[in-house]
Amino acid sequence: MLWILTNAFRAIPHDLTEQAEVDGCSLLQVLSRIILPLASPSLLTAGLFIFLGAWSEYTYALMFILDVHSDIETMPVALVTAGGSWGLLSAACEVVVVPVILVVWLFQNRIVAGLTAGALKG
């Protein structure tokens, strides 16, 4: 995430922020009107990667949540601890994977734009 966001913010020309300050924009206005709109594809990409990492988190959820509250568990932990037949486990895995596929499918153009935002100098 750090590399995606670092490259995206470095790719924003410093001249744009200086011109906005000359035109009378405050620092908050420069951030909200210039920097964030230009960096939004990269911010969305980083957010999606964080969502995907949190959605499929297994190790921390198994260590921390399962010991403290046995009635609260994430989907990967619930799949492992539920047991049952292979058909039930397969159906549960599909239910877990469908939201991830939908999110990536809906935002695939923005993901590519966010990954390539800071890659080119021009």
Tokens of 35: 């920097």
Burial class (CB in 10 A: 0-12, 13-18, 19+), 36: exposed
pTM of the model: 0.66
Domain residue ranges of the chain, discontinuous segments joined by + = 2-116
2-116: CATH superfamily:
MetI-like (1.10.3720.10)
82-121 pLDDT per residue, tens: 777 888 888 888 888 888 888 888 888 877 777 776 555 5
9-48 pLDDT per residue, tens: 888 888 988 998 899 999 999 999 989 988 888 888 888 8
